[in-house]
């Protein structure tokens, strides 16, 4: 519906304002990652451009994602949020400089956990209730969506 699309646009606009103007971990980068994820998911789903699930080592995983709209949405959503509020330095620098955020996340996937927490807190705001209920109509789907996002965003800790 137009109202849900507007809510999603509001969410993305708010997330984009949480990105800093670094040379790499910025909203332009997040947009590129989201577009690449979208194209890859489309290629997996349709077998276009010579990509088939038989070409992918984890074929059953790719096929499962191709059949799961929430998993597909999670991939793109995670791409959009994965570097929000990134300080522009590696996690190791945050640890060595004894950054408060490094202490909060006990030196593990610091920027990634912080990005997830900021985005999840925003998603849980009452303003986004209709978006949340459309994506996740019951508590089990909300928990699954959360776990998908955690796994995807933390996987960017390279």
pLDDT, one tens digit per residue, over 34-87 is 999 999 898 888 776 555 555 555 556 777 887 899 999 999 999 999 999 999
Percent of residues, the chain, with pLDDT higher than 90: 78
pTM of the model: 0.89
Burial of 5 (0-12, 13-18, 19+ CB in 10 A): exposed
Question: Is the predicted pLDDT of residue 150 greater than 80, yes or no?
Answer: yes
Query: DSSP letters of the chain?
Result: -HHHHHHHHHHHHHHHHTS---SSSSHHHHHHHHHHHHHHHHHHHH-GGG--GGGSSSHHHHHHHHT-HHHHHHHHHHHHHTTTT--SS-HHHHHHTT-HHHHHTTTSSHHHHHHHHHHHHHHTSGGGHHHHHHH-SSHHHHHHHHHHHHHHHHTT--
């Amino acid at each position: 519906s137009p109202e849900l699309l507007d809510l999603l646009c509001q969410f993305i606009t708010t997330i984009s304002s949480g990105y800093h103007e670094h040379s790499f971990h910025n909203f332009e980068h997040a947009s590129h990652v989201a577009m690449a994820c979208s194209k890859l998911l489309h290629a997996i789903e349709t077998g276009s451009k010579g990509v088939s699930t038989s070409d992918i080592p984890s074929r059953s995983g790719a096929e499962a994602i191709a059949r799961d709209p929430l998993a597909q949405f999670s991939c793109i959503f995670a791409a959009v949020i994965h570097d929000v509020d990134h300080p522009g330095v590696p996690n190791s620098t945050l640890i060595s400089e004894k950054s408060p955020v490094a202490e909060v996340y006990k030196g593990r996937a610091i920027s990634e956990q912080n990005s997830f927490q900021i985005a999840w807190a925003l998603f849980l705001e009452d303003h986004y209730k209709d978006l949340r209920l459309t994506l996740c109509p019951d508590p089990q789907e909300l928990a699954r969506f959360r776990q998908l996002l955690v796994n995807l965003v933390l996987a960017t800790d390279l």
